[in-house]
A and B are shown apart, each in its own frame.
Chain A
Amino acid sequence: GAGVSQSPSNKVTEKGKDVELRCDPISGHTALYWYRQSLGQGLEFLIYFQGNSAPDKSGLPSDRFSAERTGGSVSTLTIQRTQQEDSAVYLCASSLAGGLAKNIQYFGAGTRLSVL
């Protein structure tokens, strides 16, 4: 079946604008994760959704960042009033289950965000 799909693949925006990044997980996967990868850096955890549970937002760097997951499937990551330091690749991953079950995370190709 199809893998994790993210859109857009590239986004260029001006400082101060809001942006929305979309993630479509693998069908049937109940867990969804957002990560941020700055140039030449590792993956920084942002937020985690598991089923209908309240999301773990502990990785969000500021209140300008928010995410939602509608109907337990598609997720949108919103960054308000973008800053230049928000420039990075935003990666989404999904897994069959969360918690302590075996949950291999499959990644999307990412959205490269450039804030001018």
Chain B
Amino acid sequence: GENVEQHPSTLSVQEGDSAVIKCTYSDSASNYFPWYKQELGKRPQLIIDIRSNVGEKKDQRIAVTLNKTAKHFSLHITETQPEDSAVYFCAARWALGQLTFGSGTQLTVLP
């Protein structure tokens, strides 16, 4: 099955700086890579996703890049704000639709 590694496990940035979270996956057949944000005590919510036929996707301050050859993808958050503080999970879809999640990154944006 799929294996997803996520780094770093914790990340602290100053407000206004950029944050980058990286994930690698093992199954070259994976074709869909979503990112979820989970605030404390809340449900995971999709913030951005990318398909394997696209190299980059951007939505306002959030962008995701995908390198299929290297089997890694990254989340970029620019101009970070305190409300960006949360746990972020990457995931890769394999087989019949199941998602395999990374272990999560606790992002803290310091005011």
Contacts and interface: CB of A to CB of B under 8 A. Distances in A.
Contacts of A56: 95-96, 98
B: contact size bracket:
20 to 34
Interface in B9-48: 31-32, 34, 36, 42-46
B111 to A, nearest CB: 24
Interface string A12-23: 000000000000
A48 B44 CA distance: 18
B44 A43 contact: yes
Given A100-B31, A104-B34, A104-B49, A45 B43 contact: no
A25 interface: no
Nearest to A6: B43
A43 B101 CA distance: 6
24 contacts: A33-B98, A35-B101, A41-B103, A42-B6, A42-B102, A43-B44, A43-B101, A45-B99, A45-B101, A48-B97, A48-B98, A50-B96, A50-B97, A91-B44, A100-B31, A102-B51, A103-B93, A103-B97, A104-B46, A104-B49, A105-B46, A107-B36, A107-B45, A108-B43
Contacts of A48: 96-98
A78 B88 CA distance: 29
3 closest A-B pairs by beta carbon, nearest first, are A98-B97, A43-B101, A42-B103
Question: Is the contact region of chain B dominated by helix, strand, or loop, or is it mixed?
Answer: strand
B101 A95 contact: no
Interface residues of A, number: 27
Given A45-B101, A98-B96, A102-B32, 8 more contacts: A41-B103, A43-B91, A44-B101, A45-B100, A56-B96, A56-B98, A104-B49, A107-B43
Interface string A82-115: 0000000001000100111011111111100000
B31 A41 contact: no
Contacts of B95: 56
